[in-house]
Each structure stands twice: as C-alpha cells, then as structure tokens.
Structure 1
Amino acid sequence: MTEIADEIERVHRAVGSRPAGTEEARTVLLRRTYGAGVADVWAAVTSPGRIGRWFLPVSGAFEAGGHYQLEGNAGGGILACDAPRRLRLSWLFGPEPGFSEVEVRLAAEGSGRTAFELEHAAVVPEEFWGRFGPGAVGVGWDLALLGLGRYLADGGVDRARAEAWQTSPEALGFMTRSGEAWGAAYAASGADPEAAAAATAATIAFYTGT
C-alpha cells in the first residue's frame, strides 16, 4: 500500500473549466515528474509501438493532421504535434462525440527528468458531471500515468499481467485512493462539499464495483 500512496502523491490534480465554442468544457489536469529524459517520454507517448506497451494498442500517425485509434477506446485527430514538447488531439467516442480534447505538455526538469502535464477538456452532460464529477475521467488518467511510469522505469508491460492486475487488491486500492484524490481536487475547485463527496463515492463504486 505504500507504493500506491506514493504514486497517488506524485500527481498534482486540478479541476476547472474553459470555453469551448458556445459551451463550457470541464477540465481535469494532471501533473507529475518522471525519471526519464524529455525525448524518451515524448517517444513513449507518440510512438504507436511504445504506446501499446503501457496503455492500449493504437493505430495511426502521431503527426499534425494525422489520425489515431486506440483499440476499443477513443480515437480522433492530431491537432498539434510540436516535438518534443506538446501534443494536442481530439479524444472522441461514437458518431456524435461532441467536444473532447487532450493535451500533453513536456518540459525538462533537471538532468534526465521530465515534467509531464496532461489536460483533458470536454463538454460533459450536467447529469453525468453531477453524478461522477471529475473522477470519471480522472481515475482513468491516473491509471494511464501509472502505466507510463512503470513502463519508463522497466521498459515494458506484460499485457496479461496488466489485465490481471486490474482486479487485484492493489489495483482496487489505487482506484479508491485516486477517486478520493479527485474528490479533494473537486472540492478545492469550489464544488459543494456534499456534492463532491457523493461524486467521489459514485466514482469509486464505478471503478471498483463496490
């Protein structure tokens, strides 16, 4: 459990909003530091062969104007690709996905270390946001950043072991702590404390099945 607590504490989380055309997009921001150089981290998040080793199998070209598709998950267009600092892409599901974008920003932080930021902005139905708050996507991104960190540390993820881990007590503990951290970030953004607590409980139940 100490490793879980350490991983949760390594990530700074923030919840906000910004205009998206005539609507308001909700935003979640994750920031942490990895013990790898910028070029290595950039390759890990833009090379399809490497993405599949820590996240999901993906097809497409990670270059401005290109498109990508994660297996069984999101797809979209590459809106900006400024190597090795900034990647912005649409993050879309279904035939009428609405507005949803993800931006990754990298910066060197000392020798062999990289400051990593991921911001996800999306127009979310009020009913869904009211029920789950930011944890609905936040816990998923925490899991992704955990996978990226383990990949950068040891160079590979065994897919079968990773899938088995998803239902392990360690994984359930991680999801619970992540949900609580997003609940705290939601409350810190100005949300009503009772609403934040209810959203936290719903998010944890969704991810853990409890």
Structure 2
Amino acid sequence: MTGSSSPTATAACSGAAIATGWHAGLELLAAALDARPIDWDVWRRAADLEHLRGVIVTESLHTDGDRSVLRMERRFRHPRAQVWRALTEPGHLSQWFPARVEFALEAGADVSFDWGDGSGPAVDGRVTEVSPGRLLAFTWGDELLRFALRDDGDGCLLEFTHVFDDRYGAASFASGWSQCFVGLGQVLAGEPVTAASPSAAQHDAFVDRFGLGAGVSSTVDGESRVRFERQLTAPAGVAWPVIERLADAPSAGVVERDEPKALAYTARGGAQVRWELGDGTGHGARLVLTVTGPAADDPSWSARVADLARELRG
C-alpha cells in the first residue's frame, strides 16, 4: 500500500494540540501549572468536536528492559472495518499519518517512509504482524508501532503501542500521536483534517503525567550527582538566554561557555554544574543538566528546569 502525507497532517503529528475532551483536560492542568486563567472556550470546542474524534481512554508509559513502551487507547464511534481501512488504505492513511508509507499487508514485507519534503528521518521498516481487520504492526527504524482493533459496542477501540529507546522523548511522541488520532477521527467522520497547531503546554503536561521531569541521583567518584534530562519545546537559540539567566553562574566560576550548546561552572557553594543543549525529537532542543558535589540534591535545580520549561511555553 502507498500513502502520501499532507503538510497539515505532518504538522499535526509533530506535537500536541487542544481538541478533544482529554486535550481540554490537559489544557486545564497546564493552566493550573502556569497559574494562568483557564480558557473555557477550549472546553466548548472540545464538546463541539468530540463526536468527530472519539475519546481517548488511557495513556501510559512503561519500561520493558531498556526500552520505553507508550500505550494509548482510543475509542472511535465507527465500526472496526472502517477504522481498519483508515489505518491501511492510502487515501485515508495519507491524511493523518506523519509520512508517506509503502508496504504490503503481509508479515515480513518491507516498509518505506517518505516525508515528501525530506524533513523527516530516512528510515525503513518491516511489517512484523498482520491480522486483517484486527492487527497491524511494523518497525519504523529501530522503533515498533502496533495498531490493534477490537469491537466496542457500536464502535471500535484502537489499542496503540509505540516501543522506543528515547524515554525523554515520550512526551513528544504521546502528544504527537494524540494529534494524529485527532486527524484519524476527522478522516473517519468524513471531515477535512484541521487539527490545531502543536502546543507546548500539551507537551509539558505529558512530561508531568509521565514523571519525566524528575532528576536521577547517583554517586560518582564519591560525590553526589543529580542529572536532569528534558525535551524542550523551543530550539537551542531560544532556550539559551533563558538558561543563562536561570543558571546565575558567577562570572569567576565559568569554565566553559559554548553558546548555544554548553555552559559549565562552579556554583556558589562549590557544586560543579553543566547545562547542555543538543538535538531532541524535533519538538525543540534536548536539555541535560548535571550537578555534582555539594548541594547536588538541592530542589532549586529541579525548580530551575521547571522554570525554563514554563518560560519556553510562553
């Protein structure tokens, strides 16, 4: 089969947006985190659109060995056969999946992905499981996507699984797939795919939901170390000046400054601090903050990372 991605569908799948009732719930959480007024129009829009797109039932992130497993369930008010066609037929798939896809519906078949404009990763895959009308699974590079369908009353339940290595990219993946499934719901309803633009607030709500903002403590050469890794919602050039301000590095203590990639210094109190910005999921830069030595476990470091994320949300 062959599908071709549209710019709207590709952009929609790159991040989260406010559309269904669940997305409205995430917006409420994000508003509370930011201490800002709630946009009640979000709820009205969700109520107007929910009949098109079904309801997300559950979302969870687990670990299986050294890999991360994202599971999402979504109920559509359409029969299983119709949803299967939207998952596998080119004319439907092209409208909501983030890349043009080519494969035969048989286990072992090669899968190719084409982003059209060359912006996506050049990867291939292989079909791993097929049960017509019920199950489709294939690899996307070294990741696994699995779509399972089962009847649910007069509708259908989609059980989606994404297996990957980059745990700290999970919020990008979850928010992106959420928006893809908004598009899928619109396709099923015979409506144009008009998913909203990506939302940093929705992305960061998934960070909180999955517990991805916590630091990891260890001991290195007898000294305490805390490491934070966080997918940001803005590029390095935007994040850098905010980091410099939040870091509050004493000028005499700076040992490395490589804008917009790295800032290392000895903090007041003697801790060795390093902020690094690298490539992320495409949602923005990836932050790694390591603090070693005295006061490494001071909660103020976690607060600075949270403040950075909040400022980048705008």
User: 1:85: which partner in 2?
Assistant: 134
For residues 61 and 22 of structure 2, the distance between their equivalents in structure 1, rounded to whole angstroms, comes to 19
1:207 corresponds, among 273, 280, 283, to: 283
Measure how far apart 1:121 and its partner are: 0.7
- Alpha-carbon contact 1:7-1:146 (below 8 Å) kept: no
- Alpha-carbon contact 1:62-1:81 (below 8 Å) kept: yes
Question: What TM-score do the two structures reach when normalised by structure 1?
Answer: 0.70
- CA 1:86–1:203: 2 relative to 1, 3 Å: farther
In structure 1, the residue corresponding to 2:179 is in which secondary structure? helix
User: 1:171: which partner in 2?
Assistant: 197
- Check if 1:137 corresponds to 2:161: no
- The number of residues matched between the two structures is 174
For residues 101 and 6 of structure 1, the distance between their equivalents in structure 2, rounded to whole angstroms, comes to 28
Instruction: Return the letter of the residue paired with 2:19.
Output: I
1:26 corresponds, among 59, 68, 73, to: 68
Measure how far apart 1:194 and its partner are: 5.9
For residues 206 and 104 of structure 2, the distance between their equivalents in structure 1, rounded to whole angstroms, comes to 32
When the two chains are superposed, the root-mean-square deviation of aligned CA atoms in Å is 2.8
User: 1:16: which partner in 2?
Assistant: 62
- Check if 1:4 corresponds to 2:19: yes
For residues 57 and 133 of structure 1, the distance between their equivalents in structure 2, rounded to whole angstroms, comes to 22
Q: Which sections of structure 1, spanning at least 5 residues, go unmatched? A: 93-98
- CA 1:31–1:149: 2 relative to 1, 3 Å: same
User: 2:84: which partner in 1?
Assistant: 42
- CA 1:69–1:6: 2 relative to 1, 3 Å: same
Question: What do residues 86-142 of structure 1 show as CA deviations (whole Å, max 9, x unaligned)?
Answer: 1111111xxxxxx3111111111111x111111111233xxxx4xx44113222212
Instruction: Return the letter of the residue paired with 1:144.
Output: C
Instruction: Return the letter of the residue paired with 1:45.
Output: L
User: 1:150: which partner in 2?
Assistant: 186
Q: Looking at both structures, which has the greater relative contact order when contacts are Cα pairs under 8 Å and sequence separation is at least 6?
A: 1
